[in-house]
Amino acid sequence: MSTTVQLEVKDDHIALITLQRPEAANAFSHQLMDDLHLVVEELEKKDDIRCVIITGSGDKAFCAGADLKERATMNQQQVVQAVHRIGETVNLMENVPVPVIAAINGAAFGGGLELALGCDIRYASETAKMGLTETSLGIIPGAGGTQRLPRLIGLGRAKELIFSARRVNADEAYDIGLVEKVVPQELLLEEVMQLAERIAANAPLSLKQAKTAIQKGQDVGLTTGLDMEWMCYQVTIPTEDRLEGLQAFKEKRKPIYQGK
């Protein structure tokens, strides 16, 4: 059973993942990464999950990145392997087939911010602070930060933050497009849950195909991206959910989607 990551399945097809190392600012230890992989594997066996939320325990940290105390005991090869493992963990979250929301409840630095960047949507508490601070430690972001941050906020702003190792507060993160919304700490999970419920009310196959089209389209030119979108659209045509959506619209009621 997981000891550093908690999985809770909420009503309406929503899964809540909580990193449970508050004594270490929810940092990436080997154990936490192993537990998070196990939790995602468990989620993938559940056909009824339509949206995932990931957050940190407590009100001080979402995830502070690598566990530097643990890293101090490693040799060079072990450090390389540990960083690679963080990258694999971020990729794992990015590849969850349904929408994933990061509820950034506090500090998100280094690999912690890279984890949030691997999510589809980011909400932050007013007290959250974040940054890719690796150059101040003699390294660079190694779990996707140099690639995902420019794609999200633009090349110049990403370079400024990475080169300077500067930390930003929640309001600045919102201003530059790093997070989609800033809310009071005590309302963060409530706000995120409301968004998750709105997402989960939609057709699950449509959510998966929309995410696939968006994700894969980012890595190709517009013409190829449009072809990918059309392929994903066609997957939804023969589904029972599409017919249910049309019938519900005609009858002026909420659709009841079954993921078929």
Between CA 23 and CA 64 the distance in angstroms is 11
Between CA 180 and CA 122 the distance in angstroms is 6
Between CA 30 and CA 248 the distance in angstroms is 48
Q: Measured at the alpha carbon of residue 110, what is the angle toward residues 60 and 22, in degrees to the nearest 5?
A: 30
Beta bridge partners of 101: 53, 121
How many CA atoms are closer than 13 Å to the CA of 20, on its beta-carbon side?
15
Nearest Cα neighbor of 85 from 133, 34, 119, 132 is 34
Asked whether the beta carbons of 59 and 105 are under 8 A apart, the reply is yes
What DSSP line would sit under 60-98, residue for residue?
Answer: SEEE-SB-HHHHTT--HHHHHHHHHHHHHHHHHHHT-SS
| Residue 217: Cβ within 10 Å count | 17
Beta bridge partners of 16: 8, 53
Asked whether the beta carbons of 203 and 254 are under 8 A apart, the reply is no
Paired sense of beta strands 121-125 and 181-183, if any? parallel
| Token pair for 231 | 């392929």
List, by residue number, the catalytic residues. 66, 111, 114, 134
